[in-house]
Amino acid sequence: MLVLPDRDTAQDVAEELADRFGVTQEPQLVRDALAGEDDAEDAQWLVVVEDPGRRLDPRLLDSFAAEYEGWLEAD
């Protein structure tokens, strides 16, 4: 899963995954509120990418997320 700073960025990343990595399943967007935070402005957004065949390179995904001020969170 990729961790991004806001919803708009997460949506951009989800759309770009198909073009850049050939992801065919639409990634799931999930709001991840920080502990004790109720304000949507303080939430991170997760882009959940299914890769059962492990064909996606984690280093490339992490670099890709970093372009959007995010990172790859390993399962």
> At which residue do the structure tokens 């990634």 appear?
27
Q: Is residue 14 pLDDT above 80, yes or no?
A: yes
According to the model, what pLDDT value does residue 41 have? 58
Q: What is the sign of the dihedral through the CA atoms of 49, 71, 20 and 30? A: positive
According to the model, what pLDDT value does residue 32 have? 85
Largest CA distance in the chain: 37
Three-class secondary structure of residue 38 per DSSP: coil
CA–CA dist 19, 14 (Å, integer)? 10
According to the model, what pLDDT value does residue 36 have? 55
Query: What pTM, to 2 d.p., does this model score?
Result: 0.84
Q: What is the pLDDT of residues 16-65, one digit of tens each?
A: 998 999 998 889 999 987 655 555 556 899 999 988 888 999 999 999 99
